[in-house]
Amino acid sequence: MFITTQSFGQGTPSVKIFANYNADTESDFKEFEIKRSYLGYSYKFDDKFSAKITFDVGSNSGGSAYTAFLKIASVNWKASENMSLNFGMIGTKNFKFMEKSWGKRYVEKSALDQYKWASSADAGISGTYKVTEKIIVDAQLINGEGYKKSQTSDGVFRSGAGLTVKITDDLSCRLFRDNLPTANDTLETQTITSGAINYTGSNYNVGLERNIMQNEDHITNSMNREILSLYGSINLAGYTMFLRRDMISTSNENTIQSGDGSAQIFGIEKQITKGIKIALNVRSWEDETLSDSGNSMEDRSVFLNVECKF
């Protein structure tokens, strides 16, 4: 018991909670919701080795509305001043840059995460190498099933590699290539190519990302799908105004697939105290339609989001 207590004192526990109240403007539906709760603990063994564990409490189709999943259970090895490796249930590299640029995870996930093109965590190994102070490369090899599922019977791994360039102190860009192969030789590897850029000024931030999926569901020469996401924020008198627009489309202009459309978020955020933020926002979704089929219906909701972390 003495050893356990001493070890706990040397580590760092963490808690993060995302909650909201939301109401549909087109119906009488409204609710209070605990969207996510993250319970974590990190421990540093020495200057080279550290470990982290995080439980994600959220919704699950196979469980209750508040089911706990092991999201992160990883060991980090700082092999040198420029290189580090992560092994275990790790955070993936696909959209961390974009999520940080968007900066409002408690309001909404970033695009690749929101539309389920990639998972935020998975079992595998990843590495990061700092080429210079302005150039960083990274790669990962993961199961490809996300952190809520185990590896499939085909045993095929999902891989990815990325490049981040800090052009100036205010301007950075990111390129990432994700590859999801298949054990069936008659099918093709599904790929996702992501490019993003972010600029941070004295009191504002703007970002843009474009994600292109080829060979969706491993179908050869299938139509490409694209997500274009733009976001920005500006700080004024202690408040942050923010907006975001996502556009999901299919490469063939005469074809519309399920999930094609556009989403908008506009809101205002306030830091109440250290560790607590609130954001009042309006968000909408409109399905894409062919030019000769008339306008589609627009769904609109009002949200009050709260983030609490300590």
Average pLDDT by consecutive 10-residue portion of the chain (310 residues)?
49 97 92 95 96 90 77 98 98 98 98 97 98 98 92 89 98 98 90 98 98 88 88 97 97 78 98 98 89 69 98
Task: Name, in order, each residue with C-beta under 8 angstroms of 87's C-beta and a sequence gap of 6 or more.
Answer: 74, 75, 77, 124, 125
What pTM was estimated for this model as a whole? Answer: 0.90
Burial 263-289 (b: 16+ CB within 10 A, else e): bbbebebeeeeeeebbbebebeeebee
**pLDDT score for 127:** 99
* 56: exposed, middle or buried (Cβ count in 10 Å: 0-12, 13-18, 19+): buried
Q: What is the rounded CA–CA span in Å between residue 99 and residue 108?
A: 10
Q: Which tokens sit at 223?
A: 């139509």
**Assigned token pair, 110:** 């970033």
Kind of pairing, strands 171-180 and 190-200? antiparallel
Q: What is 78-309's CATH number?
A: 2.40.160.10
Residue 295's pLDDT is 63
Helix (H, G, I), strand (E, B) or coil at 265: strand
Token output for 82: 């420029």
